[in-house]
Amino acid sequence: MTEVPREVRFRDLFSYLKVESSSEENDFSPKASGSTSDSQCSECSSERPRPFKVTKTDFSHDTGQKVYNSSTIHKKVKSLYDNDELSDVKLMVGQKVFHAHRLILASSSDIFRVMLTNSKWIESRRDIIPLREEEECAGVFEHFLKYMYTGSIQLTHTNVLPLLILADKYIVKDLADLCTNYMCEHIVSTVELNHAVSWLQYSQRSFHVKLTEACRLFILHNFQKVISTSDFCEMDIGTLVNFLSRSDLIIPDEFVLYCGVVYWIKCQKENYDDETMGSIAKEALSYVRFPMIRPMQLLKIQTSSLPNTCQQFIQDKISNAFQFHSLEVEERRNISNRRGPQEQYLARHYTNDHWSMSMEINRFRNLPKYYTRSILFSSPISGSKADDHKCVEWNVEFHPKGVYFPPCILIGWQGNLDVSDSAFETVRLSVKTKTTTVQRAEVVFMATGVQDGVEYIKQVVSRQCIFDLETQIYNLDDVIPYIELNGRSPPYLCGEDRDTLKFTIMIKGI
């Protein structure tokens, strides 16, 4: 028998083990005489595989030297993905079959470990294991499986939720953490891509606390953006009511909120019969604060096409709201004590011109240290049309670049005292009343930010204050983190050149 040349046997062995001998030669083989010139090598170097990166510790006569070559091992394991060589199990997802390895699956997933190693599971004795996955999850299963072999994955707003569902189902915690971190970091983009509500409701069901809180705060502070998306229709009644019941919900005004709720009701018609739909519609609309809707807006509602399932319910709410707008303070108090929850007579965090004032500070980066913007404005004492002629005057000072107090002399009957200057690195909002009567008010500061090219309300700070003759000024410090606003890449600066600070101030009676 003709003996197979030794070099041929070695070549086959290297091919089987997926080891690229060319890269080994690049690392360790001496340069042959008469080899290609340096210029030619540089031109073709991009075509050759890069040598494996080997790191070493310092050499010691006592302990020698530790060499790290993990990239080689990583490449070998990566080559096993969906490879029938050495495969000892197949996963069938829909009509697609994946060649897999029990060792890789069991070491990556707690569920696969039990499924493949526990003899009580029939899957432990099968060569082909069928897996039932939802259509969206089946579409990304190959990426999910490949992650177990490579440790890398391309996350997008489209695939991250089904990947998280798979990671939770098979208990691949490291992948679940990657998915939830991605979602928290890019949640603002969900309003552009219709995923905000879907992410929130799944995270609630699966107890991803950090993601749930991030989604909840984003939706609470940017409700107008969310209600204009088709994803809003997927919100269940319990989640919707949870938002509608809150006084810190940020929305331009109550009329915008009403329109959003009606849009949601219309989206639910196909899912319920008329009787059930009527109950759901009344439950949702009962949390709309009709007395906070202006009279002209109430007329629009009254003359518009109302949902058939709750026409009379809405008419009663409108009638009560008109009465609220026509009565004086004491008469309104009697009505509010008799009719429904007190919250319906309280303003939310409204951002329209009637309730609040929005400001823009341009060329922010060029502003001097300790720059101050002074603002004079008035706020309504209530949501009633009858009180439109009554308002509270405020003097507000905003310090976005710190607060500075110059040196001064404190004069007293025992003598004068020199006080040195002082400075504080804080973003301060200073609110002073211009009236002498007692005022109980909530001061709300809302700062705009930018993420993934989308402007949104990023920071909200509120404080309940009691203004009287002794306390006429309240200082709200750190309304925006000083370092974040005055750092190299402030996430709060907007505009084409990212050099404009936008914020809104609302002061409402309590």
- Digit-coded pLDDT (tens) for 73-111: 788 888 888 888 889 999 999 999 999 999 999 999 999
| Pick from 129-138, 418-427, 497-506: least confident | 418-427
pLDDT band at 22 (very low <50, low <70, confident <90, very high): very low
pLDDT for residue 258 is more than 50: yes
Whose CA is closest to 260, among 219, 282, 229, 221? Answer: 229
pLDDT for residue 11 is more than 50: no
Determine the pLDDT at residue 336. 57
Q: For residue range 122-179, what is the model confidence (pLDDT) as tens digits? A: 998 999 999 999 999 999 999 999 999 999 999 999 999 999 999 999 999 999 999 9
Number of Cβ within 10 Å of residue 328's Cβ equals: 10
Percentage above 90 pLDDT, the chain? 63
Distance separating the N- and C-terminal Cα atoms of the chain: 100
Helix (H) or strand (E) holding 128: strand 128-131
Determine the pLDDT at residue 7. 41
For the segment 198-224, the average pLDDT, to the nearest whole number, is 97
What pTM does this model have? 0.83
Whose CA is closest to 349, among 474, 446, 256, 470? Answer: 446
Considering only residues 405 and 175, tell me which one the structure prediction assigns the higher pLDDT. Answer: 175
CA dist., res. 168 & res. 446, Å (int): 36
Tokens read off for 191: 């309003």
Number of Cβ within 10 Å of residue 24's Cβ equals: 14
| Contact (Cβ atoms closer than 8 angstroms) between residue 492 and residue 480 | yes
CA dist., res. 123 & res. 128, Å (int): 8
CA dist., res. 187 & res. 157, Å (int): 9
| Pick from 20-29, 163-172, 195-204, 330-339: least confident | 20-29
Determine the pLDDT at residue 303. 86
CA dist., res. 38 & res. 30, Å (int): 15
pLDDT for residue 35 is more than 70: no
- What mean pLDDT, rounded, does the chain reach? 86
pLDDT band at 191 (very low <50, low <70, confident <90, very high): confident
pLDDT for residue 386 is more than 90: no
pLDDT band at 50 (very low <50, low <70, confident <90, very high): low
| Contact (Cβ atoms closer than 8 angstroms) between residue 116 and residue 144 | no
CA dist., res. 166 & res. 18, Å (int): 30
pLDDT band at 399 (very low <50, low <70, confident <90, very high): very high
pLDDT band at 371 (very low <50, low <70, confident <90, very high): very high
Determine the pLDDT at residue 343. 84
Percentage above 70 pLDDT, the chain? 87
| Pick from 25-34, 207-216, 347-356, 393-402: least confident | 25-34
Q: What angle do CA 23, 27, 32 make, to 5 degrees?
A: 95
CA dist., res. 324 & res. 336, Å (int): 9
Q: For residue range 276-302, what is the model confidence (pLDDT) as tens digits? A: 888 999 999 999 999 999 999 999 999
Number of Cβ within 10 Å of residue 138's Cβ equals: 17
What per-residue string of b and e applies to 358-396 under the rule 16 or more CB within 10 Å gives b?
eeebeebeebeeeebeeeeeebbbbbbbebeeeebebeb
Which domains, ranges and CATH numbers included, belong to the chain?
Answer: 6-29+38-72 (no CATH), 237-348 (1.25.40.420), 351-509 (2.60.210.10)
pLDDT band at 340 (very low <50, low <70, confident <90, very high): low
pLDDT for residue 227 is more than 90: yes
pLDDT for residue 388 is more than 60: yes
Determine the pLDDT at residue 342. 77
Determine the pLDDT at residue 510. 81
What per-residue string of b and e applies to 466-481 under the rule 16 or more CB within 10 Å gives b?
ebeeeeeebebeebbe
